[in-house]
Every structure is written in structure tokens, then in C-alpha cells.
Amino acid sequence: MRFDIAIIGGGLAGLALAVALRGTRLSVALVEGRRPRRPEGWDPRIYAISPSNAAFLTGLGIWDRLDAARMQRVAAMEILGDAGGRLDFSAYASGVGELAWILEGSLMQQELWETATRQAGLQVLCPAAPAALEFRPDCARLELDDGQVLEASLVVGADGADSWTRQAAGIQVRFHPYHQHGVVANFACERDHLGTAWQWFREDGILAWLPLPGQRMSMVWSAPESLAQELVALPAEALCGRVAEAGGHRLGALEPLTPAAGFPLRLMRPPRRIGPRLALVGDAAHAIHPLSGHGINLGFQDVRVLADVLASKPAHVDAGDERWLRRYERARSEEIVALQSVTHGLHRLFAPRHPVLSLLRNTGLNLTNRLPVLRDALVRYALG
């Protein structure tokens, strides 16, 4: 089978790219191991989607079909340091409708999947897994585990931080472990969050509470490995008490909606995000600390730019031409490097328990909070 584009990975980034290419002349194949399914109750995989990416998903025809009852507007955010530092953000004060939207990953993935599988020019191969990849002068040859062979002008790796595609292409990466795990869980709350998100820089990690529809919230606790293991092992009632206490009982008593789960946190910067007949998007192209909440937002912007680059390609230009793909790499480099550097720097600044550093970081938060121009500039950047 011959295609213009073969996308490996049917997560949020891979599906979004497939849908974004539907208005082009390009034939597309999507390779994925299993179709997405909605969990019972609430999905523990919660994302903060920036308004610019909500607009991107609107353009794909996805956003307006999502269940509004499972989406929460963020009207305000409070960031609290470990020694009296504070930084407040308000959608109203900044003259915008919302700072972000909080919603389940499976909600977006399911709608993207349904849209992708209905579109012409796309062949979804599922269940299927890549087995071998060879880059030739005239095409990339992808062999699947069931023996099928695909030939494509361009292969796009959208298969996560441990990308099989990236490894098969010979791109070696070094992961910088943070020696932390992100512990996630969802809770029902005694009090209404009023659309407010909280983030605490604590001695035992970085704790975030993200508002969910109704009196519910999602927790992400970037905790040292030993504490993370302890949190995941706690009985539900003890976990609720521990999380409520860590957040100063802002939302009163908590009740569990999903069990706690943990995943390792690490930084990853590949030496390149493109090659002859290759492009990487999403977590396959970069891994970032979750304290900024920008992981999937970076991935959606990768997709937007790559789709624009491919759609604007003249007919005589090969989709796998590395010279043409450099437009994508150049367009994405600045934002990715900037956000990785900022989040990595903030992690290093708040991790050490040193009185001088504590004074500096908390003074910095308070100073920024007193400068509306700087604070609003940060909001505008986060909005995209």
C-alpha cells in the first residue's frame, strides 16, 4: 500500500494531525494498536487546553462536539510559593474569557477518532503495530506486525515519549529524570471551586488542583519518588485526607472519584525533530515537566504547524523532503526550547530547600504579582 503520509500513533497528536490533513490532496494512513475507549466515571488523564488550542480544535470541527457538561472553564489561578510567595491570574482582570479549559483526554481522543474514521483519504490500520522501518531514497517502507507493508513519502512519529518511530529512525535521546512521579487522581469536593485552579510549590513537590465540572477537581502532585509511592499505596480515605490537608482544605472534605496513579517525570530533547522522510510530533518530539500544563498544548501546535507546512507544499515537492520539513522544525523550535527551559528552570529553582533560594523564588512571585503588565504578559503567552 502506498500513501503520502503514514502516521504512527493514534493518540491526541496523531489523530489531530490525521484530521488536520483531511482538506489536502494527501493520502494518509494511521497506525494504532487499539481504538480509544471512554472509561466509566471520570478519566484520570486530565488536560488543561489553552484557548489557542481550543480554537485549533474548533477549526478541526472537534471542539463544538465535545460534551460541555464534562468541560470546565478556568476563570482564575492561584500560585503559592513555599514561604509566602503568591502569584494570581484572573481571566476577568486580563480581559479574556478564560485562562484554559480542563477536560478529559479520552473525551478529546474519542471525538478525534470518530471524526478521523469518517473522513475520506485516510486509512486507519487498527489494531496494528509497527515492526520494521526503512528509509529509502524514494519512500519510507514500514512493515507492520501482521506482515502488511506500507510505503509512504513521509512517516510521522506520534507515538509518545518512548517513541518506537524515533528509535527505528536511529535518533538517540537522553532522558533527564526529575526523580519525581506525577501522581494523579480525581475527587468530589465539599466546596465549589468557582473555576479556580491552584498550584502550590511545596517542600514535598509541586501540587496542582484543576477544577472539573460541578464540585469536582483533578489533582496532579509532582512528588519525590518515595512520596509518590506512598500516595499511590494509600487507602482512598487516607489519600483524600492527605490531599485535602496539602491544599489547606481549600475545597473542604474530598471524596475519591478515581484511584491514584503515578508516572515518572523526565525531560527529553531529541537532537532533531525531522529527518529525510521523517517528522516527530507531540511527546515523541519533546517531553516537559507538567508544572506548566503545556505538554499537549505543545503537541497540538506541532500538529497545526506540520499540517500547514504539508498543505502549503507545491505538488512537485516530495512530502518527505527534509529541506521542506525544516520549515516545520524551525517554526516549532523557539517555543519548545523556551518552555522546556522555563519549566526546567522553575523545577530547579523550587526543588532545593535552601533559605537564600527560598527568599529569591518567593520574592520573585510576589514581585511579579505586583506588576500587572508582566503578569498579563504571562497570561497572554499562556493563552497562545
Query: What's the mean pLDDT in 182-194?
Result: 97
pLDDT in tens, 107-134: 999 999 999 999 988 999 999 999 999 9
pLDDT at 303: 98
Per-residue DSSP letters for 238-249? Answer: HHHHHHHHHTTT
- pLDDT for residue 373: 46
Extents of the domains making up the chain: 2-58+105-173+269-347, 63-101+178-263
This prediction has a pTM of 0.90
Q: Decide which of 3.50.50.60, 3.10.450.50, 3.60.110.10, 2.70.70.10 is the CATH code for 2-58+105-173+269-347.
A: 3.50.50.60
Statement: residue 251 has pLDDT above 90? yes
Q: CB-side exposure of 16: number of CA atoms within 13 Å?
A: 32
| Amino acid at position 141, single letter | R
- CA distance linking residue 107 with residue 110, whole number of Å: 6
Poorest-pLDDT segment among 43-52, 213-222, 344-353 = 344-353
Q: Do 2-58+105-173+269-347 and 63-101+178-263 come out as alike in CATH topology? A: no
**pLDDT in the model for residue 123:** 96
**CA–CA dist 56, 20 (Å, integer):** 9
Domain 63-101+178-263 listed as CATH 3.10.20.30: no
Q: Is the pLDDT of residue 257 over 90?
A: yes
Residue 178 grid cell: 526529575
- In terms of Cβ atoms closer than 10 Å to its own Cβ (0-12, 13-18, 19+), residue 202 is middle
pLDDT digit string (tens) for 167-179? Answer: 999 999 988 888 8
Taking a C-beta distance cutoff of 8 angstroms, is the pair 310, 24 a contact?
yes
Residue 153 contacts by C-beta under 8 Å, 6 or more apart in sequence? 3, 4, 5, 139, 140, 277, 318, 319, 320
The arithmetic mean of pLDDT across residues 63-87, rounded, is 89
What is the per-residue pLDDT for 179? 87
Q: pLDDT: is 9 or 94 the higher one?
A: 9
Q: What percent of the chain has pLDDT over 90?
A: 72
Element (H, E) at 125: strand 122-125
CB 51, CB 74: distance < 8 Å: no
User: Does residue 82 carry a pLDDT above 60?
Assistant: yes
Q: According to the model, what pLDDT value does residue 81 have?
A: 75
Answer for the pair 203, 307: CB distance below 8 angstroms, yes or no. Answer: no
Instruction: List the strands of the sheet with 46-49, edge to edge.
Output: 46-49, 100-104, 72-74
* Bigger pLDDT: 80 vs 348: 80
* Cα separations in angstroms, 252 against 84, 186, 195, 364: 22, 15, 15, 30
Q: Output the nine-digit C-alpha cell for 249.
A: 482544605
Q: In angstroms, what CA-CA distances link 258 with 11, 186, 205, 239, 378?
A: 22, 5, 21, 11, 32
3-state secondary structure at position 224: strand
Q: Beta strand pairing status for 149-157 and 278-280?
A: parallel
CA 378 – CA 139 distance, rounded (Å): 43
